[in-house]
Amino acid sequence: MSSKVPIRQFDAEHTARAAIVAEVLSAEAAVASAQAAAAQAYAKAAAHAEETARDGAARDRDMAARSLAAEIGCAGRMSDRTVQHRMDDAAALVTRYPATVLAWGKGRISQTHVRAVADAGLPLDAEDRALFDAAAVHICEAETPARARRLLDMLAEKLNPRTLTERHRDARETRAVRVLPLADGMAELTVIVPAALAHAIHDRLTRQARVVRDAAERARTSVRDAPPEGTPAVPASSSDTAPEPSPHEIIASDRRTLDQIRADVLADMLLTGCPDADPTATGDAPGALGAIRAVVQVVVPALVLAGTSDDPAELDGRSPIDADTARRLAGGCTGWDRILTHPVTGDVLRTDRYRPTDAMKRYLRARDQHCRFPGCRMPAVRSDEDHTLDYAFGGQTTVENLGHLCKRHHTLKHATPWTVRQLAGGVLEWTSPLGQIYSDSPPAVGPTSVQFVPDGDPPPF
């Protein structure tokens, strides 16, 4: 028995479906057009910065770009580093791939297509890139980004006058390690190395993980098949202490996945291993690289340390970490810094270090946590302790005239028209070349952090 859909109902459904498809495609085209317009604006900003310092040295051009990126970043509540990266990328994109940008602006291709074009055309010279740009548009308009990427790579390979061996030699110079913060106290560690090494590292980690997993499986089998050691004549009372688990039982309890074991093995080797290539090694004696240990700064609420709270701690001004991790890190510390905070606002007042120089540095690290340029999150331990009013111009070496600035923004302050002054409470007030004022306040430690009731005058600095 078959059922038939009335023609009118079918037509209505068809019309509704067609309208939805058209609406989605129109919205996607609008998004692509807006993204292309943004790229054009960033490229225009890069061109303006280049023009203002055209007759200057390379440093002058870089400072002009930094200054304008900072202006845009503060006005738009964006990182100036991100803005400058976008300026550079947009300038290269608009200059090198005009046909692709034009199609992007008309909504005919997506941003993902554009990224594929830019990635594939990177090794080409100017003449070959022009041919590639014209052909790439036709490929992107006909294919999905994933399919287009493969075709674009093949096209670029045909147009490239340099061999893959030559290009790989240059690509090796981009080796790097980066950390990308993720949610829930996690982070992604990215390592850029030659493909052969990357696959070899992954293969070794996989083999090691399988050994660990197989050992756990064998231990579970051994524990499951082991005969009982004997039945007690009298049943044990409920108050008896449970026996300690055997080594086999501990190994058998490992239920980690292969991915989890790979990650754990990698972290263990990187944090505890000794590299073979150690320039400080002499003879058969181990070098100094193996003795280097990771250093982290963690702000831990007192109740978390006591185990009565699971509130998050903060890792070096970067991201929250869970309470268990914070307690393990605190347990391994050789000493703790006592930080006195305002009982209501949580603002850092001072530390209990006695030596003036160390106390001031610790106070500033606790107060600032990161670079004090608006929007910058570079940790204080990797930033400079800058005199807000230059020492050469009478600025005093006091906590009221000091603040952490990363290398980038320290240079920006001294080499561009940006100015800064420090107000009460460690507030830094920045003035841009356009005269716009942006204030940056020290991050509050929070009312749940370690606090002490003063019992006398604070220690001198």
Domain segments of the chain: what residues? 7-171, 175-223+248-274, 298-331, 339-440
Q: Which residue has the higher pLDDT, 385 or 284?
A: 385
CA angle, 304 then 305 then 310, to 5°: 20
Q: What values do phi and psi take at 116, rounded to 5?
A: -65, -40
**Using an 8 Å Cβ cutoff, are 383 and 371 in contact?**
yes
Which pLDDT score, from 0 to 100, does residue 347 have? Answer: 52
Q: Among residues of the chain, what percentage have pLDDT more than 70?
A: 75
Q: Report the length, in residues, of the chain.
A: 461
Which pLDDT score, from 0 to 100, does residue 461 have? Answer: 42
Distance CA 257, CA 210 (A): 10
State mean pLDDT over 424-444. Answer: 93
Which pLDDT score, from 0 to 100, does residue 167 have? Answer: 77
Distance CA 150, CA 138 (A): 14
Query: Of the spans 19-33, 211-225, 285-299, 360-374, which averages the highest pLDDT?
Result: 19-33
Which pLDDT score, from 0 to 100, does residue 452 have? Answer: 44
- Mean predicted lDDT score pLDDT of the chain: 81
**Using an 8 Å Cβ cutoff, are 316 and 381 in contact?**
yes
Distance (Å) of CA 247 to CA 242, 265, 371? 15, 20, 48
The answer on pLDDT for 137 being more than 60 is yes
pLDDT band (50, 70, 90) for residue 359: low
Q: Which residue has the higher pLDDT, 73 or 297?
A: 73
Distance CA 55, CA 71 (A): 22
The secondary structure element, H or E, covering residue 220 is helix 195-225
**Using an 8 Å Cβ cutoff, are 375 and 74 in contact?**
yes
Which pLDDT score, from 0 to 100, does residue 332 have? Answer: 62
- Tens-place pLDDT, residues 97-128: 999 999 999 999 999 999 999 999 988 988 99
Which pLDDT score, from 0 to 100, does residue 226 have? Answer: 67
Distance (Å) of CA 205 to CA 199, 210, 218, 261? 10, 9, 20, 8
Which residues face 191 on adjacent strands? 177
State mean pLDDT over 304-313. Answer: 72
The answer on pLDDT for 46 being more than 90 is yes
Of 424, 368, 378, 375, the C-alpha closest to 78 is 375
- Tens-place pLDDT, residues 328-342: 776 666 556 555 555
**Using an 8 Å Cβ cutoff, are 307 and 300 in contact?**
no
State mean pLDDT over 394-405. Answer: 86
Which pLDDT score, from 0 to 100, does residue 244 have? Answer: 75
Contacts 24+ apart (CB under 8 A), 347-353: 347/425, 347/442, 347/444, 347/445, 348/442, 348/445, 349/458, 350/458, 350/459, 350/461, 352/459, 353/459
Which pLDDT score, from 0 to 100, does residue 234 have? Answer: 46
- Tens-place pLDDT, residues 6-17: 666 668 888 899
Contacts of 265 (CB under 8 A, 6+ apart): 205, 208, 209, 212
Distance CA 216, CA 209 (A): 11
Distance (Å) of CA 214 to CA 122, 265, 424? 45, 15, 62
Strands (E), 295-411: 298-299, 313-315, 319-321, 339-341, 348-351, 384-387, 402-405
Q: How many alpha carbons fall within 13 Å on the CB side of residue 135?
A: 16
Exposure string for 364-373, b = 16+ CB within 10 A, e = fewer: bbbbbbbbbb
**C-alpha of 410 from chain center:** 21
Of 150, 126, 123, the C-alpha closest to 136 is 150
CA dihedral 78, 80, 84, 89 (to 10 degrees): -30
The answer on pLDDT for 450 being more than 60 is no
pLDDT band (50, 70, 90) for residue 5: low
Q: Which residue has the higher pLDDT, 161 or 40?
A: 40
Mean pLDDT check: name the lowest of 58-72, 154-168, 356-370: 356-370
Which pLDDT score, from 0 to 100, does residue 360 have? Answer: 77
Entry pTM: 0.61
State mean pLDDT over 206-220. Answer: 89
